[in-house]
Structure 1
Amino acid sequence: MVDSSSYGLLQYFQKLSDEEFQRFKELLQKEPQKFKLKPLSWTKIENISKEDLVMQLYTHYPRQVWAMVLNLFLQVNRKDLSTMAQIERRDKQNKYKEFMRNLFQHIWTSETNTYMPDRSYNIIIDRQYKALLDIFDSESDPTTAVVLGTRGKGKTVFLRKAMLDWASGVLLQNRFHYVFFFSVFSLNKTTELSLAELISSKLPECSETLDDILSNPKRVLFVLDGFDYLKFELELRTNLCNDWRKRLPTQNVLSSLLQKIMLPECSLLLELGESSCSKIIPLLQNPREIIMLGLSEQSIYFYCVSFFKIQLGVEVFKDLKKNEPLFTLCSNPSMLWMICSSLMWGHYSREEVISSSESTSAIHTIFIVSAFKSIFDLGSSKYKRSQLKTLCTLAAEGMWKQVYVFDSEDLRRNKIYESNKTVWLKMKFLQIQGNNIMFYHSTLQWYFATLFYFLKQDKDTYHPVIGSLPQLLGEIYAHKQNQWTHAETFFFGIATKHVLALLKPCFGNISFKTVREEIIRYLKSLSQPECNEKLMHPKKLFFCLIENQEERFVNQVMNLFEEITVDISDSDDLGAAEYSLLRASKLKILHLHIQKKVFSEIYDPEYGSLENFKLDQNCSFMTNFGDGSLFCTFLQIPQLKYLNLYGTDLSNDVVEMLCSALKCSTCGVEELLLGKCDISSEACGIIATFLINSKVKHLSLVENPLKNKGVMLLCKMLKDPSCVLESLMLSYCCLTFIACGHLYEALLSNKHLSLLDLGSNFLEDVGVNLLCEALKYPNCTLKELW
């Protein structure tokens, strides 16, 4: 019996005469070959019924069935059937588009507040929009694209606008017949499903069947949003499946789709944030990137004059621009929205809002206090605090359970009833997501979840889901729990006199003493050698300290560590590391890993031609950070005895910057590891000059193309009486026996060198004999020769 998904095709077969149907089957012998597919055997279809042929076609050619059938209708002179089928399919596609247009128009107007006319928003996203068109051009093969950017930069808003424009008939019409939009975090409570079920949940009743929709997968695009909040770990898997009808664990379905095992001819458009990017990108095949860079100065202006009346908007923009740190934060749309909303509430003057918004935590606090005053202005601080606590409990429970979409039971369990929900919606703390509720922005959930620990009292009822503060700190700093990615910033930001002073008029006295003590106690335990857990994310800690900015507390935290390993992946990381490490007075060992991409900015047409851009941004170490300021910063720490830059490309200019910094009187580096830094022979001369009168006792130059000339320059340094170098590592440096002649002379003069590593060079017997001769002299201090 033909199932409902194949019934549409059977209707057209019923209109064929017996003679036409026979001819259709004969032609069917050749048609699959056009698609490089194996034809059905004649014995199988010679006497087959129309119902059974439909089943055979969908079984053997699910993705090509309609393309073949429409061609064959023309070949049996039934153009009318071909035309009728195309019109019917197009009508059903248009009905789906209309359904999506209505849905996303509602989402755009009710759940996506850009606070500006669409024409202004279109100007802001013009570059990303053009990139989207370029990636998914009408003739393109199946493509995977990712929308990247930090939280609050507008990735989801951009995807919603793209979905609305497609459904409205103005975007990618010639490319995709179907676009499906899924917020993957909504699947956190779903342990098992099939892709068929997932797609069906988005289809109106009048749509084509799934078989028909997926019979032309090149015309299907999946838009997947919210990976940062997905509870499941998606990773490279071997237990993947290509059957989109089969029920599987949710993570297997998503992994199969991302890794192009399931529906490989479909296209993908993903939103990836800071937490998910490094995990999801490796699963994808040649992803194209669309970068959300945040708001430009012009965009901030558009936003302000759209949010307020034009004249007031201009004044707000000018005041924001005068405050450079705050204006930088305003490039994040969510931050700008909170600032403008706080001004709109009218409970603080413009000067108070702008002068008090000195950190992300302060901006959130002013926004929340302003909203509370607008609704509960006459209520006591005790009452306001009790109301606030219910919201904080919901947020904290959600974070511990990795839940970001809440149902009515979640709200009731946390004493948020219908009247409360209405108030929180009005205050823009919560928003409606279909039949459920979410926090208006993810950072609000983090803020409220963090504030829970400041409001918590010993007499409070035990909550079985919410962990203790030490447990939470462990999740943040010693484990890899993405849901707390930014909450730690609020712990340090709220634990300041400034933020608690902002909270006090509305919620009464709130102390940071307990929170700070727990932070110090936990971080101190991580710094102990016997502790099994280690500080896995020092960068997170650095950004938290910048958020706090209270000098005494920052110094107290940084003085807990004698050894730190830092991975710097962008200029923001660099600034945070500089601020924090300068306050690490007890630091003795610093492992510094700097990714190449730090030294080449994302191309912006405003920089000029791409050719000139590439010439300027040549990925040289320190290109964009001015005169070796990084070295000067780190090497001013007198306790720093060990510096390892292994694997970092160093140009001659940068070697000179490094050596200049090492000459500083405050620099105490004794071990310098410069292995595999692409150091040239010429750079050896610079290094040799600085080593005279320096404190460095151990120097490693392994795996660099120093050659004989470089060693000759180093040997001049070794002959100087003021050189205190005790060990020199030169393995894999492209040396020959000629270098041994220079080393022979240096060994006879040097009074301190006790270890020399020349492994894996081309010294030959001649070179080794020269070195052995030097060892015979009583004034040669060398004890180890490798």
Structure 2
Amino acid sequence: MLGGRGAGLLWREKEERLWQETPRGMWPAQGSSSIMFLKRNREKLIDELADYIDCILDRFLQKELITKDDYEDAAYERGPRKQVRRLLDIIDCRGEELASIFCSFCAEMKEKPCGKQRQVVQGSSSEYFKLALKHKQTLLRRNDCMKYYNSRHGEKIYFADHFVNLLLIKGHYSLEIKKHELLTFGQQRIHLQKTAERLEIKTEEIFQKLTDRSAPKKILVSGVAGIGKTVFVQKILYDFSRTQTFDSFDFVIHFTFRDLNLVSKPTTLRNLILMKMGHLSRVLDDVFLNSEHLLIILDGFDEFKFYNQIDVDRYVIDPDDEVELVQILGSLLNGELLPESTILLTSRPTVINHIPVDCIERFVIITGFSEKEVKDYFLKYFQTKEQGSEMFTFVRENHFLFTLCYIPAFCWIVCSVLKESKNLNMDQPKTVTDIYSHYLIVILKHHTHNSNKCSTVLETILDLGKLAYSTLLKHETVFYMHDLEPYTSNDLMHSFLDKTSVQNPESTEDVFSFTHFTVQEFFAALYYALEENLSVDMMELEVQIKFGLSSGSLDLFLRFLSGILSARNQKLLLKHLNLKESIKLDSYASWLIEELIKHCENGAYILNLLHCLFEQQENSLASRIVPTVMRLNLSDNTFSPIDFSAVDYFCSLVHGDILELDLTATNINSGILQELEPILFRCVNLWIGENNLDTEAVKILCHILSAPNCKMQFLGMGWTNIGDEALLELYNSLVHNTSLQELWIEGNEFGYDAVEKFSEISLFNSTLQHAIIIGSKIQESEIIKLRAKSSGNLIISDFNDASGRDFWEGWFQWIFQRCEICTDEKLVSFLTKVCRGLSLCQGTDWACEWYAEMAKLLQKRMQHCLVDNVKRRMHTLEQIFSVPVVNGKIQLTSDT
């Protein structure tokens, strides 16, 4: 046994022994033939070089001594001895010059061996060394080919041929749970890839020291479904098994949470490892003793059935302690079990708030493909560069298609649909549902035969839909063989399902999921559209409450349902699949129109309904949408190009003034405002606060305000980080404006000089009643100066009774409502900004009740908050709002 002294895998010791056994005269003398030398000593060379073939191939490729095709010809051989044979064959064909270089290189290896020099440990290391090599060969066999969506039986898709780089950035998602991560991802992804503060990292750097701090031991890699997390993990396993990119590790142990979900009784870490990697049994003690050279990958935390129990209170420190699975995993993450090992955890962002993030030392986001990688993917997918370039250009000009292509799984779907659309005489897709309907048809055409009866196809589609519908109700994305027993099991059904075979102590079990979770939602919507007698109607409010279908969780289902029930997709499905027309089309259209009218009139969040209308692509419906007022609430979701398409489509069909457009906290910028400009001209009230706006964005708004036909009466731009230049732009635009009554620009970066200049607006504009600038950089002494000016009632830079109690109570009520709907992290961020101006209400008595209510809200939120750092910030805010009240007045200190 090796004991615990140093690394374990003794590369230098092994190399020195091998080369010392090699006769000194083995390498050819100067002037003799290297080709003949290699032929005479071929079998001995195969024995001696098998342990180093990875390094030799990498060096020769790097120095361009062999081509990439040569490299892959040798690398794809099964086993290191065969790889050496293939390389020797290649050298023999290339002639004397390459043979001479090869011999020289091998001779140099005696003095400068490949790989990282490790500390020599006393004792026998041969078994550890042999098992490490065998382990790499096992990982290579398991990861040499990649799982490609709907590849045919027996078809091999080699990883090296099809892998396209993913963009990784240092940082992490907001811990808030998205309403629907895919739908909010588009613009956020673009923001992530363009932000100046991002730190782009390469796969091989993920475990390295990037700053003055030590190399991280606990790493969280997050990304939305289909973004490439599992392929990223396969890239690590592939590179580790073939090269020495990750040469600080002797062993990499890979778990998926799909496998771990099958563990139903107490177990040990040793048993978990041996369940997947039995070949490590004889050396596992040494692996544990040298855990600083062990990498454990935990892939797919969002699929773990106990994801909300991972932050455990009781830890284990011995790999042989038999405990519940969550205790083992929690102990690994918290560094109590194998503290020197490196842990890589992957997850979708929806469940990150359940991870003990305080123990995470590096956060990494996979943002999918960049524009360059999307183009590379198209060029690899299509048969010719010309066709690939043509299709990429088409997609690049389409907002929603191009945004989808940043996610690798969707990029494949889009490519497969575009490739087959012409062959199947289908129009180019216009909406997301079109893409999935075409995808369904393409897969059916490729995986069915003329002998298949239409009834079998229809039965299979309905079974897939029923499976998707029932599992969506139960919030399940993975299921097992017994879940499939009630349904028709055939090749067609499995064309839409991914299967993973996992080993548990008693047997092997198959785990299934749809090829992508959005495919599951599409089939669920298809089933809802086709099934006339549903036992459980997901559209009913009582059902949504019963099954815990929270607001927003059915957004994509509803979009798919709307698109499937559109006249054009009904015809498409009838033509290609002989599916009957749904009887729900008219009733759904009536429901959609009623909901749109209701949401317009009461100002409820409307964006997803606009998407549903966009999926219909039926302009005649607009004549039936006649609300008494039009209030479009699009707030609190990252605005993407797809969202713009839906909003623009609605506004182009439904005419008239827009009483209120709420774009608060949507991450809009000058580019989006420029596209929205025709719509903004129709707005009476516009709210665009809590966005990072620059002067260019303000100039677009100023263009509207200075227009003779401007309708805008209220404009809210609070907490948008605008400064003096933007304020003076507003001043110039309002000189001739005759519509704006209130301008809310609180929480921004204005100085006294700019505000004083702006106060002169009352000399030119008699319409503007209030410009609220509380929470800016103005000092108390400067506030007194502003009050003394004749325009003091116009420029409101602090809380004062002159504006009226109702005026401020309305503002505070709005703040409170914003906080009620915010997630925990957003609540903390927003209230921190608001507090910048609250010290100006010192001495007022009308805010006491509001302070007490806000303190109660924070206390309630703290009871359920699972993220420690957010909870601590809540506590700080709660103390601010729990300040003492004396004689009915808030007693704020300078520290508060």
Question: 1:286 matched to which residue of 2?
Answer: 361
Question: 1:501 matched to which residue of 2?
Answer: 571
Residue aligned with 1:93, SS: helix
Asked if the contact 1:154/1:294 (under 8 Å) is kept, the reply is no
Question: 2:253 matched to which residue of 1?
Answer: 180
Question: 2:514 matched to which residue of 1?
Answer: 439
Asked if the contact 2:131/2:283 (under 8 Å) is kept, the reply is no
**Structure 2 counterparts to residues 366-381 of structure 1, below 5 A:** 366-373=438-445, 375=448, 377=450, 381=454
2:488 aligned residue (406, 416, 419): 416
Deviations 1:638-666 (CA, angstroms, capped at 9, x unpaired): 3x425251x44544454333333334456
2:519 corresponds to which letter in structure 1? Answer: L
Q: 1:148 to 1:553 in 2, by over 3 A?
A: farther
Matched, 1:224 2:298: yes
1:696 corresponds to which letter in structure 2? Answer: L
How far apart, CA to CA, are the structure 1 residues paired with 2:202 and 2:388?
Answer: 32
Alpha-carbon shift at residue 175 of structure 1 (Å): 1.7
How far apart, CA to CA, are the structure 2 residues paired with 1:751 and 1:125?
Answer: 50
2:277 aligned residue (203, 210, 234): 203
Matched, 1:655 2:698: yes
**Structure 2 counterparts to residues 527-606 of structure 1, below 5 A:** 543-551=611-619, 562=631, 564=633, 566-569=635-638, 571-572=640-641, 575=644, 578-579=647-648, 582=651, 588-594=659-665
1:687 aligned residue (730, 733, 744): 730
Asked if the contact 1:151/1:274 (under 8 Å) is kept, the reply is no
Alpha-carbon shift at residue 454 of structure 1 (Å): 0.9
Q: 1:760 to 1:173 in 2, by over 3 A?
A: closer
**Structure 2 counterparts to residues 228-377 of structure 1, below 5 A:** 228-234=302-308, 237=311, 239=313, 241-243=315-317, 254-260=329-335, 262-273=337-348, 275-276=350-351, 282=357, 285-289=360-364, 291-294=366-369, 296=371, 300=375, 310-311=383-384, 314-315=386-387, 317-319=389-391, 321-322=393-394, 324-325=397-398, 329-330=404-405, 332-338=407-413, 341=416, 349-350=422-423, 352-353=425-426, 355-373=427-445, 375=448, 377=450
Alpha-carbon shift at residue 726 of structure 1 (Å): 5.0
1:86 aligned residue (125, 128, 134): 125
- Normalization by structure 2: what TM-score? 0.60
Q: 1:391 to 1:134 in 2, by over 3 A?
A: same
The range that moved more, 361-370 or 119-128, is 119-128
Asked if the contact 1:241/1:261 (under 8 Å) is kept, the reply is yes
Question: 1:121 matched to which residue of 2?
Answer: 162
Deviations 1:240-287 (CA, angstroms, capped at 9, x unpaired): 534465566655654554454554433233434454467659566232
Matched, 1:734 2:778: yes
Asked if the contact 1:649/1:678 (under 8 Å) is kept, the reply is yes
Q: How many residues align?
A: 639
Deviations 1:334-385 (CA, angstroms, capped at 9, x unpaired): 34534555688x7x634834x3333332222223223334525466655432
How far apart, CA to CA, are the structure 2 residues paired with 1:751 and 1:89?
Answer: 77
Alpha-carbon shift at residue 131 of structure 1 (Å): 0.7
1:385 aligned residue (434, 446, 458): 458
Asked if the contact 1:217/1:263 (under 8 Å) is kept, the reply is yes
Alpha-carbon shift at residue 702 of structure 1 (Å): 3.6
Looking at both structures, which has the greater relative contact order when contacts are Cα pairs under 8 Å and sequence separation is at least 6? 2
Matched, 1:454 2:529: yes
Alpha-carbon shift at residue 448 of structure 1 (Å): 1.4
Alpha-carbon shift at residue 410 of structure 1 (Å): 1.5
Question: 1:75 matched to which residue of 2?
Answer: none
Asked if the contact 1:93/1:177 (under 8 Å) is kept, the reply is yes
How far apart, CA to CA, are the structure 2 residues paired with 1:554 and 1:165?
Answer: 55
1:487 aligned residue (557, 562, 576): 557
1:203 corresponds to which letter in structure 2? Answer: M
Residue aligned with 2:277, SS: coil
How far apart, CA to CA, are the structure 2 residues paired with 1:558 and 1:148?
Answer: 44
Q: 1:489 to 1:304 in 2, by over 3 A?
A: farther
How far apart, CA to CA, are the structure 2 residues paired with 1:147 and 1:555?
Answer: 48
Deviations 1:195-243 (CA, angstroms, capped at 9, x unpaired): 6153343221543465543333322223233344444444884635344
How far apart, CA to CA, are the structure 1 residues paired with 2:778 and 2:713?
Answer: 26
Alpha-carbon shift at residue 145 of structure 1 (Å): 3.9
Residue aligned with 1:567, SS: coil
How far apart, CA to CA, are the structure 2 residues paired with 1:171 and 1:429?
Answer: 35
Question: 1:161 matched to which residue of 2?
Answer: 235
1:718 aligned residue (758, 762, 776): 762
Deviations 1:420-451 (CA, angstroms, capped at 9, x unpaired): 2x3434x4555454442333333332221221
Deviations 1:304-352 (CA, angstroms, capped at 9, x unpaired): 55x56x45x74365355345325665554434534555688x7x63483
Asked if the contact 2:663/2:688 (under 8 Å) is kept, the reply is yes
Alpha-carbon shift at residue 179 of structure 1 (Å): 1.7
Question: 1:783 matched to which residue of 2?
Answer: none
Matched, 1:622 2:666: no
Q: 1:402 to 1:637 in 2, by over 3 A?
A: same
How far apart, CA to CA, are the structure 2 residues paired with 1:292 and 1:649?
Answer: 21
Asked if the contact 1:637/1:666 (under 8 Å) is kept, the reply is no
1:715 corresponds to which letter in structure 2? Answer: S
Residue aligned with 2:276, SS: coil
Deviations 1:386-408 (CA, angstroms, capped at 9, x unpaired): 22111211222232334334333
Deviations 1:14-64 (CA, angstroms, capped at 9, x unpaired): xxxxxxxxxxxxxxxxxxxxxxxxxxxxxxxxxxxxxxxxxxxxxxxxxxx
Asked if the contact 1:539/1:576 (under 8 Å) is kept, the reply is no
Q: 1:327 to 1:318 in 2, by over 3 A?
A: farther
The range that moved more, 441-450 or 748-757, is 748-757
Question: 1:27 matched to which residue of 2?
Answer: none
Q: What are structure 1's unaligned runs of at least 5 residues? A: 1-6, 11-80, 599-620, 765-785
Q: What are structure 2's unaligned runs of at least 5 residues? A: 5-119, 170-199, 503-508, 809-836, 844-889, 891-896
How far apart, CA to CA, are the structure 2 residues paired with 1:376 and 1:475?
Answer: 42
2:473 aligned residue (397, 400, 406): 400
Q: 1:545 to 1:278 in 2, by over 3 A?
A: farther
Asked if the contact 2:225/2:516 (under 8 Å) is kept, the reply is no
Alpha-carbon shift at residue 503 of structure 1 (Å): 0.7
Deviations 1:79-134 (CA, angstroms, capped at 9, x unpaired): xx955443222333333333333333466589889986544435645989971111
Residue aligned with 2:289, SS: coil
How far apart, CA to CA, are the structure 2 residues paired with 1:226 and 1:708?
Answer: 53
Q: 1:268 to 1:397 in 2, by over 3 A?
A: same
